[in-house]
């Protein structure tokens, strides 16, 4: 198992001892699961979701993400194999049109991003008009 590898194993694999001696620590990383990605997306003080909520507050709109939407974003990151760094990319793709069209919509005071919107990759003006009515 890779997580139990010792310096001797690296030498047997073919690395020269001088190089192996300069490796102070060996760390084995494992892929993040869906729950970990959702935590990264929502929990830290400067979480990506919180950043978007703050941006929309400037337009006097309360932005919410359903739990299913957060999970759908995490699943997309796993499917694309982009990990935690890809969460921002996915959210930027999703929120781009909304960020440009929302300021002109004075009636919308609250908007919730749902799983369906994430899966269809469509948070558009039509969705805003449905939310306003």
**Rounded CA separation 47/39 (Å):** 9
Q: What's the domain range around 89?
A: 34-132
Residue pair 95/117 in contact (Cβ under 8 Å)? The answer is: no
DSSP structural state of residue 14? T
How high is the pLDDT of residue 50?
Answer: 97
Task: Give the tokens for residue 129.
Answer: 């008009």
What would you report as the CA-atom Rg of the chain, rounded to the nearest whole angstrom? Answer: 21
How high is the pLDDT of residue 79?
Answer: 95
Q: Please list, in sequence order, all residues whose beta carbon lies within 8 angstroms of the beta carbon of residue 82, skipping any fewer than 6 positions away.
A: 89, 90
How high is the pLDDT of residue 70?
Answer: 97
Same domain, yes or no, for 110 and 123? Answer: yes
How high is the pLDDT of residue 68?
Answer: 97
CATH code, 128: 1.10.8.60
Count of domains for the chain: 2
Count of other CB atoms within 10 angstroms of residue 82 = 14
Same domain, yes or no, for 26 and 38? Answer: no
How high is the pLDDT of residue 35?
Answer: 97
Same domain, yes or no, for 23 and 86? Answer: no
Same domain, yes or no, for 4 and 66? Answer: no
Same domain, yes or no, for 26 and 41? Answer: no
User: Which whole-number Å values give the CA distances from 23 to 6, 26, 66, in the listed order?
Assistant: 11, 7, 44
Same domain, yes or no, for 19 and 40? Answer: no
Same domain, yes or no, for 16 and 52? Answer: no
Same domain, yes or no, for 120 and 64? Answer: yes
Same domain, yes or no, for 75 and 15? Answer: no
How high is the pLDDT of residue 47?
Answer: 96
Same domain, yes or no, for 21 and 73? Answer: no
How high is the pLDDT of residue 128?
Answer: 53
| pLDDT one digit per residue (tens) for the chain, 133 residues | 777 888 888 889 899 998 888 877 767 778 899 999 999 999 999 999 999 999 999 989 899 999 999 999 999 999 999 999 999 999 999 999 888 887 778 888 888 999 999 999 887 656 555 555 5
């Amino acid at each position: 198992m890779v997580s139990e590898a010792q310096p001797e194993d690296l030498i047997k694999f073919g690395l020269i001892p001088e190089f192996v001696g300069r490796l102070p620590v060996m760390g084995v990383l494992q892929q993040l699961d869906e729950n970990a990605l959702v935590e990264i997306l929502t929990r830290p003080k400067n979480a990506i979701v919180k950043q978007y909520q703050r941006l929309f507050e400037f337009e006097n709109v309360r932005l919410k993400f359903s739990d299913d939407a957060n999970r759908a974003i995490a699943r997309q990151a796993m499917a694309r194999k982009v990990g935690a760094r890809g969460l921002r990319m996915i959210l930027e793709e999703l929120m781009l049109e909304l960020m440009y069209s929302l300021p002109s919509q004075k009636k919308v005071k609250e908007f919730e991003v749902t799983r369906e919107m994430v899966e269809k990759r469509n948070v558009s003006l039509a969705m805003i008009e449905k939310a306003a009515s």
